[in-house]
Chain A
Amino acid sequence: MTLFVQLLIVGLSGGAIYALIALGYTMVYGIIELINFAHGDIFMIGTFITITILQAFNITDDPNVNGTLVAAILIAFFASMILCAILGVVIERIAYRPLRNAPRLAPLISAIGVSLVLEDIGKLWKGLSPISPPQIFGAGAVFYIGPISIQVVDIVVVVVSILLMVGLQWMVNSTRLGRAMRAVAQDREAAALMGVNVDFIISFTFLVGTGLAGAAGFIYLLKFPVTTFTIGFDLGLIAFTAAVLGGIGNLYGAMLGGLVIGLVQSLVNLIPDSNNPSSHGLGLPHGGGAWATAIIFAILILILVFRPSGLLGQQTPEKV
């Protein structure tokens, strides 16, 4: 039981990170119907920026809480967000805007190309082997509710993510820019007729989406001890699955999808290993953990079979 609750909380924090990345995917898809394969790699660049800044401030594992630490954290967080946002806008300008009117497959392939370029830039920047960021929350930063131990990191991750998501919600629902974004997502031409600068709004969407990815990069490093140039692809794939699961184009769907996937990924570890004699043959060979990716995709496929537009997606009938 305690294991279950602990896995639940870990799943929640992992899910929060997926949700942040999935928001970027879903925002871009909602507005220009493009699967931005490069989004995960922008997240990866965000993690590299954070590591570079933290290393520049000479932060080590489990540091003392003082001015330098706070400054380093703040600068790393905002720098990661801002630089990733700028990167996103640049990519949109170069690789996606010329293809605005091309057939559907062209921007997709272009996105894949950009993803490959970013991966190689990461490879050239930080090398081939995984690098470890300094662990700000050391192993001892835990607190207990009864028998259940909760890591402080998890709480921080969840809280910061919720703050960011709330901020996004407010921006999309209550500001003029947010209204313009929703308008462009709904009908681009009509929005242009209403006086919305469509190009600017699309760039702005990329700005916000990739900014969130940069923030996710910083948060990811708080929790996980290692990063490498391929996590962009790995995490991006799962985050994109989360976005699709929740209904792509729908912000709440992305958050819900991220949460579900995070929970699933954490809770599959409960499935026993059928090779292990103590499980009496139940479960899966090598335990649930090894099958996590497969199970996540299986859940996605099941849900898509019964609800083809995702959990919260709109069932728009195809019109002639």
Chain B
Amino acid sequence: MSAVTINTNPAGPVSSTRSLLIKWVIALLVPILVFNFVWQGDYLINNVILGFINPADALIGTGSLVQATIFIIFFYLVILAFAGYLVAADTGRRGMVEVWVDVLVFAVLPILLIVLVNNNLIIGLALCAIVWPIYFYIRRRVPFLARSQALSLPKSISVLNTEQKAAMVRRAKLGGFAFGLSLAIIWLIVDLLYYIAGAYPTELLVVTAVRTVFLIVAGYFLGWLGGIVAVRRTLSANGNPTNGSDNATQSDANERRRRQSLLLASSRAKEEVQEVVPNDLPLRSAGARRFFLILLIAFVLFYPVLDPFLFGYGTAGRLAGYTDAGYYVILALGLNIVVGFAGLLDLGYVAFFAIGAYAWGIFGSTQFGRLTNIIIQPNVLSWLFWPMLIVTALIAALWGVILGAPTLRLRGDYLAIVTLGFGEIVPVIFLNLDKYTNGTNGIVGVRSPAFFGIQWTVINHVPYYYLILALIALVIFANVRLRDSRLGRAWIAIREDEIAAASSGVNLVRTKLFAFGTGAFFSGIAGAYFSAKLGNVSPDLFSFNDSVIYLAMVVIGGLGSIPGVIVGALAVYSINLFILNNLDSIASDPSSFLYGIDQFIIHFIPSFTFGNIRNLVFGIVLVAIMIFRPEGLIPSARRRRELHQAPEEEAVELGSLDVTTTDPGFEAEVRIE
């Protein structure tokens, strides 16, 4: 049984500021230092300064160096603010050692594993993905670590008054300051040691001094920023959850508090409680997620510049892989609308992808001229990519509506088989109507896009990388807005119970057609990008296997959850199309340990290669994930509640909610069980 209480007369933070400081400063310091040691971040900054002082000394080109340095400075600034937030947000109830072990496993271990596999990011992350479930399992079993499980959810939300908020901000400033100070001191010592050993140029001592002072000062102010972020997410004594204004009258405040307590009733209470600061799991709170998101976005934006420093040679190959993975993300997001939001099982999604690809394929190549006798200069065609992106998407959406229309009366599995049928019919049509689509040979010479001065070629993948990033950002934004709109809620209503939705006034036909159309719209975007990048398009690129892969991406990632689907897309791409193919190239190298294993297996099964068993591994992974985690990797909140909720958590003691604000017992504690 779990009770969540709202304390309107809270005590101060449970543990002393000093232990909080020690806990978080060390928790953050260890990964940063390991990261620094492994990838030598300050080496970059030093190189830039050296490059400015003495251009001949610079070892690498200044342009990308400067960008990389900007990223690194931004990174440390965010970490300083994060330190402040963590110190402010923590109640100190969870022990130090548990947090340190968590940080070790989730932050330090990936760095070490990635280094272990020769700086290969994907394989390192794959190893982490194997280690982490084992760690979760161990954590649940081992009594020493399980002690914290009883406290795994915060038991009370404190309602804070202005003094307590000021105390929080003070803690945050202290935290940022302490973290900046420790970082500065450690680096100072390291630099001095290098200087004494003679390996450190004298000019850079100025840099060291500046950096030390800067870190300490910046730590103070950024800690303050972190504190402000934390304070914004508290419940204030006046009942206003966002800021501590004293303007509300007392009865208004009571009314709001009562509404809040009603709102926090039943199982949502636990989720809301995790979002509100101070809490016992600050690393998992919504504020911390903001920081992680900022760091992730910065990392992804700066990735082409950082890649040579982090992962060595082969940047071009890696970027090529990521630009290929990108359109899978868009496809998964599109399918998420049809299957995840609206609950319409679509097994033929590849048909819309094919329509999008062929639309740009026909228009963006000489085929258009052949068919309609309107000749457009190839260079102009490249510029026309941008408006055609929308047009292609709209064409795909139109076909989505057309192909969705016969399925409206069908339920469940019949819908699946009809969509599967469309997934088969469309490539056959493209194959056989070769007057328009050039049949099996497909259309070659599809133009890639053009913009002022930027070359989209297959030699340098960076422009494609930013193009796909921009497209993914737009699609994510569209999806988030769709999900939170009336239409999105209508979709979710249809998914849960069609009859109830129809009784509540949801127009089933329109909503379902919209779902198909919108899903096809996004696949049209992906299709245009795909054919522009590939340069040709032919019917054998689209098959039922691909539909299965897209569906697997959505289901493994988490049906209906946008971050889940993105992670699912990347995970499935890595497993299915990346890891095993790369294992082949590693295994062919006689010096690696895989070579022996490979030769051993070939004795028994002559046709064995790692690339060959790709489907075998993928199939086993699918079955395993469905058995052990059917809600997906990052499930939407609703799904998690559905699949893992124990029935007794739903009981709400209704009697307490009837307590009115004038009762004497109300002020002390409102109990919701």
Contacts and interface: CB of A to CB of B under 8 A. Distances in A.
Contacts of A248: 413-414
A120 B643 CA distance: 32
Interface string B600-616: 00000111100011111
A107 B417 CA distance: 16
Contact of B435 (A35, A285, A291, A293): A285
A285 B544 contact: no
Interface in A264-320: 284-286, 290-291, 293-294, 297-298, 300-301, 304-305, 308-310, 318, 320
B417 A300 contact: yes
A43 interface: no
B409 interface: yes
Contacts of B500: 320
A29 B413 CA distance: 10
B607 A98 contact: no
Nearest to A299: B421
A310 B414 CA distance: 9
B616 A120 contact: yes
Contact of A95 (B421, B428, B556, B623): B623
Interface stretch (A159-167, A199-207, A236-244): A236-244
Of B339, B412, B420, B556, most A-chain CB atoms within 10 Å: B420
Contacts, number: 146
Contact of A305 (B339, B406, B412, B413): B406
B421 A241 contact: yes
Interface in B425-467: 425, 428-429, 431-435
Contacts of A29: 413
B566 interface: no
A86 interface: no
Contacts of B416: 35, 108
A117 B406 contact: no
B428 A106 contact: no
Given A124-B605, A293-B425, A308-B409, A244 B623 contact: no
A139 B555 CA distance: 49
Contacts of A291: 428, 432
B620 A304 contact: no
B414 A308 contact: yes
A6 interface: no
A87 B583 CA distance: 30
A297 B421 contact: yes
Interface residues of B, number: 54
B612 A123 contact: yes
Contacts of A124: 605, 607-608, 612-613, 616
Contacts of B607: 123-124, 127-128
A147 interface: no
A110 B623 contact: yes
B428 A293 contact: yes
A109 B555 CA distance: 8
Contacts of A110: 622-623, 626-627
Contact of A304 (B406, B428, B605, B621): B406
Contacts of A308: 409-411, 414
Contact of A294 (B428, B548, B559, B626): B428
Interface of B: 339, 345, 406, 409-414, 416-418, 420-422, 424-425, 428-429, 431-435, 498-500, 544, 548, 551-552, 555-556, 559, 605-608, 612-616, 618-623, 626-627, 630, 642-643
27 contacts: A35-B413, A35-B416, A98-B627, A102-B626, A103-B642, A108-B416, A110-B622, A115-B619, A116-B622, A117-B616, A120-B612, A120-B614, A120-B619, A124-B616, A128-B607, A237-B420, A244-B414, A248-B414, A284-B432, A285-B433, A290-B428, A298-B425, A300-B417, A301-B406, A318-B411, A318-B499, A320-B499
